[in-house]
Amino acid sequence: MDAATQTVLLTANQIAGGVSRLAAEIRRDYAEDAPLHLVAVLTGGWIFLADLARALALPVTIDFVDASSYGANQHSSGIIRLRHALRLPVQNRDVLLVEDIVDTGATLAWLLNHVRAGRPRSLRTVALLDKPSRRAVDTPLDYVGFTIPDRFVVGYGLDHDEQFRHLPYVAALDVRPRSAGGQTPGDGQPS
């Protein structure tokens, strides 16, 4: 793997506080008698979904969709790939689409259209992280945990080439490619 350095942007405590705040905002908008249908975007959104579902203290149903434009890259390709479709119908349900991060907005816009085709009663979005400086597609965000700068981030479910998801915090990741001799330029080793 390439050498990487991390700069913590959000600590585990900050994230927990943000999730609690989001849950309170969402609870104010939904009735306590009808289940809220949470749809998490895999793979990055599952940790956020788990914490949010517990913090909501509302009846919920849960489903997952896997759509991405990143692959192993740090930048969106712009091509959305659906790798796992919804298994439960959304018709006549109050649906909350749970995103880990909204960057260009292309994946979220595609997912909103995809879910709308199922005719939910209502459809809203929640994103743990919002990176508005990279927005290429105007997409509505009903609830936002944190607005972050234009940095590639990992941790709390977010990855770089399937690594770093386990971190309890969110960190900016700077990756430097290794040279042909296996050393990382600028790491104090001869290159």
Is residue 137 a part of any domain in this protein? yes
CA atoms of 85 and 35, how far apart (whole Å)? 21
Is the pTM higher than 0.85? The answer reads no
**Strands 143-147 and 122-130, sheet pairing:** parallel
Predicted local distance difference test score (pLDDT) of residue 182 = 43
The count of domains in the chain is 1
Task: Classify each residue of 76-89 as buried b or exposed e, where b means 16 or more C-beta atoms within 10 Å of its C-beta.
Answer: beeebeeeeebeee
Query: Does 103 qualify as catalytic in the annotation?
Result: yes
104, 135 Cβ separation under 8 angstroms = yes
CATH number of the domain encompassing residue 151 = 3.40.50.2020
Count CB-CB contacts under 10 A for residue 112. 18
Give pLDDT tens digits for 52-101: 999 999 999 999 988 766 544 445 456 777 665 677 889 999 999 999 99
Give the position of tokens 């085709």.
Answer: 117
Is residue 95 a part of any domain in this protein? yes
Predicted local distance difference test score (pLDDT) of residue 24 = 96
Predicted local distance difference test score (pLDDT) of residue 162 = 87
Is residue 28 a part of any domain in this protein? yes
Angle at 134 between CA 128 and CA 137, to 5 degrees: 90
Is residue 187 a part of any domain in this protein? no
Which residues in the chain land under pLDDT 50? 1, 71-74, 76, 179, 181-191
Predicted local distance difference test score (pLDDT) of residue 62 = 95
Q: Please identify which of the residues 103, 138, 159, 187 carries the catalytic annotation.
A: 103
Is residue 85 a part of any domain in this protein? yes
CA atoms of 30 and 32, how far apart (whole Å)? 6
Is residue 49 a part of any domain in this protein? yes
Domain of residue 34 covers: 3-176
Is residue 38 a part of any domain in this protein? yes
Reading the block at residue 66, the tokens are 């896997």
Is residue 23 a part of any domain in this protein? yes
Count CB-CB contacts under 10 A for residue 12. 14
